[in-house]
């Protein structure tokens, strides 16, 4: 298993002051190159590095440790300065946000540090919480705002004046430019409790209005259900009426067959009508008798009903028609 390199504070301090010292140790300096420093310069630089080592070696371990600690802090600051949230593009647009009617809590946290919420937010900052002091502070402030939201002290989103007053009461450090722009744009930095109670009263009114709308919707729903139930009952009644009407139609069909049977019987027995013939002179006689009674019906209609009635006469009866005595009218 490979061993981790042992930290040497003196070599660390030397490499920080003379980065070229590490390059020399690695053999990355080629004095044969045309643009390489001259031997005289290399000699002077090597002497300076050796002298610095001697100076450090003359100090006590405690002094060297303090120097290394300070140098580490400086190195971390240099690294921190290069992170995305410290770039010029990460600066907040206070002119825009100080005119906004509300801020989200994530925007509140970013603006508190003077950062642009579109670039600096919990999603982008969270991966750096274990390596960045700024990210650690961001996480702490975010935690406070979330707890305040749970306790009903803040809302998400929240009016800027309420958040700023809350932050002031909690002695939370805010970016100087945020405070100055807030004052210049006229955002009230009143007592937080006053703003909270004001917001609470407005929220109560909004809740009452919402509850009123809910009750109206419930009443409309009840009316709709009543109407649907009435329609359902009407549909049931209509279905029953249709079934009754269908029954009446069946009854009418039976009655119609009875009437046609009666017509067939009278035409055969009284007029000698022969259903087996394509044309019957008796049809005309029946039509003439209808006319004499003042009943209007054309001859073709008479012929149609006589034919339909004849279709109801059993076949045996038709075969025996010639065997019966003629008792016709004509």
Q: What is the mean pLDDT of each run of 10 residues along the chain (330 residues)?
A: 73 85 48 58 85 90 90 84 90 92 95 96 94 94 96 90 90 90 68 59 76 86 86 81 64 72 78 73 80 82 80 72 50
Same domain, yes or no: 180 and 203: no
Same domain, yes or no: 220 and 307: yes
Cβ-based neighbours of 312, under 8 Å, separated by 6 or more: 257, 260, 261, 264
SS3 category, 314:
coil
- Whether pTM exceeds 0.85: no
Domain presence at residue 2:
no
Same domain, yes or no: 165 and 255: no
Domain with 18 in it: 9-82
Domain presence at residue 57:
yes
How high is the pLDDT of residue 139? Answer: 97
How high is the pLDDT of residue 124? Answer: 95
How high is the pLDDT of residue 29? Answer: 47
Domain presence at residue 330:
no
Q: What are phi and psi of 323, to 5 degrees?
A: -85, -15
Domain-ending residue, one of 158, 190, 222: 190
Cβ-based neighbours of 253, under 8 Å, separated by 6 or more: none
Same domain, yes or no: 97 and 76: no
Residue 137 host element (H or E): helix 133-150
Domain presence at residue 4:
no
**Cα 308 to Cα 227: distance, rounded to the nearest angstrom:** 50
How high is the pLDDT of residue 62? Answer: 92
Domain-ending residue, one of 27, 48, 82: 82
**Cα 142 to Cα 326: distance, rounded to the nearest angstrom:** 118
Same domain, yes or no: 73 and 143: no
Q: How many domains does the chain have?
A: 3
Same domain, yes or no: 93 and 77: no
How high is the pLDDT of residue 26? Answer: 41
Query: CA of 81: how far to CAs of 115, 118, 133, 175, in Å?
Result: 14, 19, 11, 17
Determine the Cα angle at 189 with ends 183 and 192, to 5°.
165
Same domain, yes or no: 319 and 208: yes
How high is the pLDDT of residue 31? Answer: 46
How high is the pLDDT of residue 144? Answer: 97
How high is the pLDDT of residue 21? Answer: 56
Domain-ending residue, one of 82, 116, 144: 82
Same domain, yes or no: 97 and 183: yes
How high is the pLDDT of residue 326? Answer: 47
Same domain, yes or no: 166 and 269: no
Domain presence at residue 235:
yes
Pick the closest to residue 126 from 117, 114, 136 (CA basis).
136
Domain presence at residue 329:
no
Same domain, yes or no: 71 and 94: no
**Do 275 and 264 meet the contact criterion of CB atoms below 8 Å apart?**
yes
How high is the pLDDT of residue 250? Answer: 54
**Cα 178 to Cα 91: distance, rounded to the nearest angstrom:** 11
Domain presence at residue 64:
yes
Same domain, yes or no: 157 and 255: no
**Cα 278 to Cα 307: distance, rounded to the nearest angstrom:** 10
Same domain, yes or no: 296 and 252: yes
Domain presence at residue 311:
yes
How high is the pLDDT of residue 188? Answer: 59
């Amino acid at each position: 298993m490979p061993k981790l390199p042992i930290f040497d504070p003196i070599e660390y301090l030397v490499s920080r002051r003379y980065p070229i010292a590490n390059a020399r140790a690695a053999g990355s300096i080629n004095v044969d190159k045309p643009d390489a420093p001259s031997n005289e310069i290399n000699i002077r630089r090597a002497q300076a590095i050796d002298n610095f080592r001697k100076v450090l070696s003359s100090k006590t371990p405690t002094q060297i440790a303090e120097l290394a600690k300070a140098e580490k802090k400086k190195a971390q600051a240099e690294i921190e300065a290069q992170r995305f949230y410290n770039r010029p593009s990460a600066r907040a647009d206070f002119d825009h946000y100080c005119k906004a009617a509300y801020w989200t809590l994530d925007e509140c946290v970013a603006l508190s540090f003077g950062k642009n919420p579109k670039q600096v937010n919990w999603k982008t900052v969270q991966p750096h919480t274990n390596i960045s002091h700024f990210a650690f502070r961001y996480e702490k402030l975010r935690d406070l705002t979330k707890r305040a939201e749970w306790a009903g002290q803040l809302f998400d989103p929240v009016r800027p004046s309420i958040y700023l007053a809350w932050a002031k009461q909690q002695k939370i450090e805010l970016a100087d430019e945020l405070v100055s722009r807030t004052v210049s744009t006229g955002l009230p930095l009143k007592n937080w409790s006053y703003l909270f109670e004001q917001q609470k009263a407005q929220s109560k009114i909004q809740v009452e209005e919402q509850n009123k709308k809910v009750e109206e919707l419930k009443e409309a729903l009840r009316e709709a259900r009543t109407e649907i139930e009435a329609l359902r009952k009407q549909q049931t009644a209509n279905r029953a009426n249709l079934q009754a009407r269908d029954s009446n139609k069946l009854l009418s069909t039976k009655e119609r067959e009875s009437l046609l049977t009666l017509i067939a019987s009278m035409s055969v027995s009284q007029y000698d009508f022969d259903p087996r013939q394509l044309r019957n002179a008796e049809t005309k006689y029946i039509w003439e008798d209808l006319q004499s009674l003042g009943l209007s019906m054309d001859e073709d209609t008479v012929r149609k009903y006589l034919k339909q009635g004849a279709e109801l006469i059993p076949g045996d009866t038709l075969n025996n028609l010639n065997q019966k005595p003629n008792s016709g009218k004509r």
